[in-house]
Amino acid sequence: MLEIKNLTAAIEGKEILRGVDLIVPDGEIHAIMGPNGAGKSTLSYVLSGREGYEVTGGSATYNGQNILDMPPEARAAAGIFLAFQYPVELPGVGNANFIRTAVNAVRRARGEPELDAVAFLKAARAELKKLSMPDDMLKRNVNVGFSGGEKKRNEVLQMALLQPGLAILDETDSGLDIDALKIVAEGVNALRSSKFSALVITHYQRLLDHIVPDRVHVLSSGRIVRSGGPELALELEAHGYAGQAAAGQEAA
């Protein structure tokens, strides 16, 4: 379970998160929606441990562990996965080598046996098939020359193989056409179980047609200003974000 309490965080002294409270129980998918500049990406980076984001107050625990003090690799080992809004290109690093190194690093940290090259390739090929990705995706350099859709599918491939307990999807729908969107959504839905939870960060409602969330939260000016069921996403789509912050202030 992810538990965030009164979390505040700043970049270069500028406060972006101003007291976020959020609980994502195991087995649930929660969506975070909000206007540009609300702090959505900052929340995802703070939870995954990117440098340059200073936590100024509050707490975030995953399965009872304080994650904010952990280096990014330890968070990954604990089961947290961030699907990047802009996946990073790694020229000279083969995709298969990268993913296998990651999978084995995480398996080692979790006390599980490492996968040899044959076992890894078998597992990777099975996932590629589900994602309608060609096998040669593994031979290419990580994200180099990938289209926007291929990059996002590569994120989902990594997620499927790393088997996280908590996935944070940062605007995974941006830059995707409807077919790619469906494939990505299927990849997330395939992981759904009582032990898997996800935080789906998105600006638009359309991804939520395919990954139906249990709860929807509105992040505005660094705070969760409203929470509700899936119908809240539809309401936001119809009426926009204007007025949400004010409504949240009154409620708080």
Partner 1 sequence: MTALPTRKLEAWRYTDLKSLASVSFADAVPGLAPLGLPDLGVPRLIFVNGIYDAQRSTPPDFLSGFARVAEASDQPLALINAEQAHDGVTITVPDDTDAGAVLLISYAAAENPIAFHPRHRITLGMGARLTLIEIAMGQGVYWHNPVTDIALHENAKLQHYQLQNESIEAFHLATIRAKIAASAAYVSFSMVQGAKLSRAEFHPTLMGVGAVTQLNAAQLLRGQQHGDYTCVVKHDAPNCASRQVVKSVMDDHARGVFQGRIEVARAAQKTDGYQMSQALLLSDGAEMDIKPELEIFADDVKCSHGATIGALDPEQIFYLRSRGISEDQARAMLIRAFLNEALEPVSHAAARGLFEAAIDKWWAEK
Chain centroid to CA 190: how far? 15
Under the binding rule (CB under 8 A), the answer on residue 158 touching partner 1 is yes
Query: Binding partner 1 by CB under 8 A: which of 98, 115, 121, 175?
Result: 98
Number of residues that bind partner 1 (CB under 8 A): 29
Footprint on residues 10-69 left by partner 1 (CB under 8 A): 48-51
Under the binding rule (CB under 8 A), the answer on residue 101 touching partner 1 is yes
Only segment of 17-25, 76-84, 193-201, 238-246 that touches partner 1 (CB under 8 A): 76-84
In the bound complex, what is the minimum distance in angstroms from residue 248's beta carbon to partner 1?
30
Only segment of 70-78, 122-130, 132-140, 196-204 that touches partner 1 (CB under 8 A): 70-78
In the bound complex, what is the minimum distance in angstroms from residue 121's beta carbon to partner 1?
18
Element (H, E) at 44: helix 40-48
In the bound complex, what is the minimum distance in angstroms from residue 52's beta carbon to partner 1?
8
In the bound complex, what is the minimum distance in angstroms from residue 186's beta carbon to partner 1?
22
Under the binding rule (CB under 8 A), the answer on residue 160 touching partner 1 is no
CB contact burial 41-75 (16+ within 10 A = b; e otherwise): bbbbbbbbbeeebeeeebebebeeeebbebeeeeb
- d(C-alpha 62, C-alpha 75), whole Å: 9
Under the binding rule (CB under 8 A), the answer on residue 117 touching partner 1 is no
Q: What CA dihedral angle connects 43, 199, 134 and 125, to 10 degrees?
A: 110
In the bound complex, what is the minimum distance in angstroms from residue 83's beta carbon to partner 1?
10
Q: For residue 29, what are its two tokens?
A: 């998918």
Q: For residue 20, what are its two tokens?
A: 């976020």
Q: For residue 234, what are its two tokens?
A: 């539809």
Query: Binding partner 1 by CB under 8 A: which of 11, 55, 93, 234?
Result: 93
Q: How many CB atoms lie within 10 A of CB 163?
A: 15
**Residue 223 and residue 19 in contact, taking contact as beta carbons nearer than 8 Å:** yes
- d(C-alpha 38, C-alpha 43), whole Å: 10
Under the binding rule (CB under 8 A), the answer on residue 105 touching partner 1 is yes
Would you say 75 or 215 has its CB closer to partner 1? 75
Q: Are strands 223-228 and 215-220 parallel, antiparallel or unpaired?
A: antiparallel
Binding residues (CB under 8 A) for partner 1: these are 48-51, 71-73, 75-77, 81-82, 84, 87-88, 90-93, 98-99, 101-103, 105-106, 109, 158, 162
